[in-house]
């Protein structure tokens, strides 16, 4: 069973968001890492880059395939988890912890309310799984 944390918000593209003071931390969910398989490569933006809600901000790759990462919120990238560049497998091992990807200073923190809560995401994932 995949892990879904109560305190996070989620996107339909399987990113999670955690509010930390005035910043949002972004990563991908346990469901996403499991579906991707071993992550062998990641591409992330740089500090100071702008990300736009719903647009790709990077990509994760397994041996077999590439998946875009979509920004859950618009804002400026203030911190990047550069440890992932050399050890992308950390995303598989600890998707909600050490596997965080970027911290963003949002232009409108209210955008976070458009995202799914854990119950909604649980239901969403169940439907996705049925499709397989």
* CA–CA dist 33, 31 (Å, integer): 6
In this chain, which of 7, 52, 66, 82 binds another protein, going by CB under 8 A?
66
C-alpha 105/C-alpha 20 separation (Å) is 10
Q: Which of 19, 23, 40, 109 binds another protein (CB under 8 A)?
A: 40
Three-state SS string across 29-76, please? CHHHHHHHCCEEEEECCCCCCEECCCCEEEEEEECCCEEEEECCCCEE
Residue with tokens 């346990």: 30
Q: Which of 58/106 has CB closer to another protein?
A: 58
To which H or E segment does residue 26 belong? strand 23-28
| Residue 38 makes contact with another protein by CB under 8 A | yes
Q: Which of 5, 13, 23, 43 touches another protein (CB under 8 A)?
A: 43
Among 3, 63, 114, 128, binds another protein (CB under 8 A): 63
Residue 83 found at the interface with another protein (CB under 8 A)? no
Q: Are 96 and 3 in contact (CB under 8 A)?
A: yes
Point out which span in 6-14, 38-46, 72-80, 109-117 binds another protein (CB under 8 A). 38-46
Binding another protein (rule: CB under 8 A), the pick from 3, 7, 37, 93 is: 37
Residues that bind another protein (CB under 8 A): 37-38, 40-41, 43, 59, 61-64, 66, 85, 132
């Amino acid at each position: 069973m995949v892990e879904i944390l109560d305190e996070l918000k989620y996107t339909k593209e399987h990113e999670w968001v955690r509010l930390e003071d005035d910043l949002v931390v972004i990563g991908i969910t346990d469901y996403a890492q499991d579906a991707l398989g071993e992550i062998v490569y990641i591409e992330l933006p740089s500090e100071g880059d702008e990300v736009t809600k719903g647009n790709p901000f990077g990509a994760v790759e397994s041996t077999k395939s590439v998946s875009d990462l979509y920004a859950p919120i618009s804002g400026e990238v203030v911190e990047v988890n550069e440890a992932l560049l050399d050890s992308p497998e950390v995303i598989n091992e600890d998707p909600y912890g050490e596997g965080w990807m970027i911290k963003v200073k949002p232009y409108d923190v209210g955008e976070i309310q458009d995202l799914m809560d854990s119950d909604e995401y649980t239901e969403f994932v169940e439907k996705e799984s049925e499709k397989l």
